[in-house]
Amino acid sequence: MHPDLSRYSCQVALPGFGEAAQRLLQHAKVLVVGAGGLGCPAAQYLAASGIGTLGIADFDTVSISNLHRQVLYNPADVGLLKAEVACQRLQQQNPGIKLVSHIAKITSDNVLQVIEGYDIIVDGTDNFETRYLLNDAAVLSGKPIVYGAIYQYEGQVAVWNIKNDDGKRSPNYRDLFPQVDATHVPNCSVGGVIPTLAGIIGCMQANEVIKYVTRTGEVLAGKILVFDAQTMQSRVINIGKTTKTSITQLQLSTDIPTITAAELQSGLANSTLHLVDIRTDQERDEYNIGGLHFELDEVEDNLDEFDFNKTYVFYCSSGKRSGEAVKLLQQKLPGVKAYSLGGGLGSLNRD
């Protein structure tokens, strides 16, 4: 065996794998979007397997509530950019691969440029706007995308947009979910998630990437695997061999008004801003800065609480749920002025 491959001797020894498959991994360029519960284990095993170039895209920072499932981080990383920390840790794990961090938020303006230099994309996102955006960009670019999702005790894995033997493409995310009202689907911060599930699904995503790159095994194209962590049972649901959707352009990203910690503090001092805590009851009991309190899925039931003559600032731990709340308010009460606290409560500690 070539000395450069000695690190990978156990996988090279696999029947049907060999040095040729390992060379394919070394020349592969994989982008992991979302360095969270799914992205951390997926990226860790892809780095360990010898993927030549590994991109990590995430504009968020590490928070204390991430640590139970986002295994690349530790308490000293709280407040630091996830993509930068992840790349640093993965480079230490495997100095022989190239790590690239992308810390700008992925939008309709930059998504095609971000994914352009990669062969395959791992979807580790936790919001629907980015998930649909990635899916559509992958379809328009002719790139496969490995989908993963987790909620409470259940996870899903699939591979979208694979080129079939007849030249047609396999189904993509919109074949299964044409559109979703994200405000009615709680995320992990609201509904909870068992941490081991993130590891299981993230590893499955890495497994699909390795199979695709090395042309070994049968990838989950045209089907979706659903896994139940409580029963340890899984089932594979067939979707179909060929996509039935027609994606011709990207949907423009929604512009969510945000406010900085400094602007918030100034507005509160002048009594011109009104706070809305969008976190769970448990999070609010642990720490809060006051204001109205609704969980994300309760906002629509409390629209009569908002005054058209006031300006509101929604806040959560990271800014993601508050952004969804502002987006909902824009749809339901377009005349009400509302902002999301950029970076969430963590930004108050950093300023």
- Residue keyed to tokens 């963590």: 346
- Grade residue 350 by pLDDT with cuts at 50, 70 and 90: very low
Do residues 305 and 336 touch, judged by C-beta distance below 8 A?
no
Whats the size of the chain, residue-wise? 351
The most confident of 12-16, 58-62, 82-86, 185-189, by mean pLDDT: 82-86
How does residue 241 score in pLDDT terms, banded at 50, 70 and 90? very high
Q: Do residues 157 and 233 share a domain? A: yes
Tell me whether residue 262 is in a domain. Answer: yes
Domain count, the chain: 2
Report whether pLDDT(307) > 50: yes
Is 226 among the domain residues?
A: yes
Higher pLDDT, 20 or 317: 20
pLDDT digits (tens, 9 = 90+) for 281-293: 888 888 899 999 9
Are residues 152 and 77 both part of a single domain?
A: yes
Residue 271 pLDDT level (bands cut at 50, 70, 90)? confident
**Domain termination site, one of 238, 269, 287:** 238
Given this model, what pLDDT does residue 31 score? 98
Q: Looking at the structure, do residues 299 and 217 belong to the same domain, yes or no?
A: no
Mark whether 316 is an active-site residue.
Answer: yes
Strand partners of residue 236: 225
pTM: 0.81
- For residue 330, the domain's CATH number is 3.40.250.10
Whether 139 maps to a domain, the answer reads yes
**Which percentage of the chain shows pLDDT scores above 90?**
65
Name the band, by pLDDT with cuts 50, 70 and 90, for residue 187.
Answer: low
**pLDDT at site 304:** 92
Residue 184 has pLDDT above 70, yes or no: no
What is the predicted pLDDT for the residue at 86? 97
Has 188 been annotated as catalytic? yes
Q: What's the CATH number where 122 sits?
A: 3.40.50.720
**In the predicted model, is pLDDT for residue 297 greater than 80?**
yes
For 29-57, write each residue's pLDDT tens digit. Answer: 999 999 999 999 999 999 999 999 999 99
Q: Coil, strand or helix: which one is 159? A: strand
Residue 248 lies in a domain: no
Claim to verify: residue 22 and residue 154 sit in the same structural domain: yes
Asked if residue 249 belongs to a domain, the reply is no
pLDDT, averaged across the chain: 90
Helix (H) or strand (E) holding 228, with range, is strand 223-228
Among 279, 298, 315, 313, which residue's Cα sits nearest to residue 188?
Answer: 279
- pLDDT above 80 for 182: no
Name the catalytic one among 10, 40, 87, 188: 188
Same structural domain, 288 and 188: no
Q: Residues 242-266: pLDDT tens digits?
A: 999 999 999 877 778 888 888 898 8
**Same-domain status, 280 and 331:** yes
| CA distances from residue 351 to 143, 192, 276, 346, 348 in whole angstroms, order as listed | 40, 29, 20, 9, 6
The verdict on residue 250 lying in a domain is no
**Are 199 and 296 part of one and the same domain?**
no
Helices 82-93 and 39-49 meet at what angle, rounded to 10? 30
pLDDT band at residue 122, thresholds of 50, 70 and 90? very high
40-54, 150-164, 217-231, 253-267: the lowest-pLDDT one: 253-267
Instruction: State whether 184 and 319 are in the same domain.
Output: no
- Pairing state of beta strands 98-102 and 274-277? unpaired
The average pLDDT across 133-154 equals 95
Q: Is residue 253 part of a domain?
A: no
Which token pair is 221?
């194209």
Answer yes or no: is pLDDT of 185 > 70: no
The answer to whether residues 214 and 269 belong to one domain is: no
Name the catalytic one among 10, 40, 203, 316. Answer: 316
DSSP string, 58-109: ---B--GGGTTT-TT--GGGTTSBHHHHHHHHHHHH-TTSEEEEE-SPP-TT
Q: Tokens for 128? A: 């629907």
Domain that holds residue 94: 3-238
The 10s digit of each residue's pLDDT in 324-343 is: 899 889 889 988 999 999 88
Q: What is the largest CA-CA distance in the chain?
A: 73
Q: Are residues 308 and 265 in the same domain?
A: yes
Residue 168 belongs to a domain: yes
Q: How far apart are CA 57 and CA 208, in angstroms?
A: 19
Distances, alpha carbon 17 to alpha carbons 29, 47, 48, 210, in Å: 19, 18, 16, 11
Indicate if 168 and 316 belong to the same structural domain: no
Q: How confident is the model at residue 2 (pLDDT cuts 50, 70, 90)?
A: low
State residue 3's pLDDT score: 63
Residues 142 and 45 in one domain: yes
Tell me the pLDDT tens digit for each residue of 166-177.
999 999 999 999
Phi then psi for 171, rounded to 5 degrees? Answer: -55, 155
